[in-house]
Amino acid sequence: MQEKPNILLILTDQQRWDLLGCYGASQCKTPHIDNLANRGVRFNNAFPLIIPCAPGRAALFTGRYGHITGVETNGGQLDQSLPNFATELPRAVYNLGYAGKWHVDHQKNPSDWGFRCKRDFPKYGYPASNINMPGIKSGARENSQIAGNYLDYLNEKNLEPPELIEAFYAQGNPGQRNRELHGLHAGTIDHNFEAMVASETVELMQA
């Protein structure tokens, strides 16, 4: 019996098409994605249904426009009666796994939809938001679930928490109310939030 191929969906937030090497970027180094593009299909004339984060993710999750999904803004609520990845892929005998930011809507986490998750990020789970760790100057939201996930990951990898040097709060922009981390810190690639998401994605695919 022929094995089913894995389906890997790499989802980034509001990323320009020309920030990938396979589309001609010279400053951004994306060798692994470039390799996938060289072995598969690369679109040259494709457009997202909708730009903002949650509406775009909900459209991809269901294959429907925002006025159908119910998620037309980042605070929208997904129509849970619609067919979606979580309802249809198991019919084809696929196991579901999810790592990293969710933000399809604010009702359910990935595990609520049946995805296997090593760590269930909050419904809005940008990895570098709301971090409360020593060294942050402006102070972020306390008792952050995301910070706990990140520290657990570092402990599992026997990595020391990096010394964070700056936190920025975009007070002037109502669309950026979360405190975000910006700046350099000491450490290896494995110290990064993105490394945590990539590592857990590989673990889910190999399980």
Instruction: Report the C-alpha gap between 144 and 163 in whole angstroms.
Output: 18
How many Å apart are CA 139 and CA 13, to the nearest integer? Answer: 25
Per-residue DSSP letter, 97: B
Question: What's the confidence (pLDDT) of residue 33?
Answer: 92
Alpha-carbon separation of residue 188 from 5, 35, 153, 176 (angstroms): 32, 23, 14, 28
Higher-confidence residue of 205 and 121: namely 205
- Position with higher pLDDT, 109 vs 191: 109
pLDDT range class, residue 106, cuts 50, 70, 90: confident
State the pLDDT confidence band at 69, using cuts at 50, 70 and 90: very high
> What's the rounded Cα separation, in Å, for the pair 135 and 157?
21
- Could you give the residue numbers annotated as active site? 53, 103
Q: Please give the full DSSP string across 144-197, using - where no structure is assigned.
A: -HHHHHHHHHHHHTT-PPP----EEE-TT-TT--SEEE-S--SS-GGGSHHHHH
Residue 95: closest CA among 110, 116, 80: 116
Q: How far apart are CA 28 and CA 128, in angstroms?
A: 20
For 153, phi then psi, to 5°, come to -60, -45
Q: Are 76 and 55 in contact (CB under 8 A)?
A: yes
SS3 category, 116: strand
Q: Is the whole model's pTM more than 0.75, yes or no? A: no
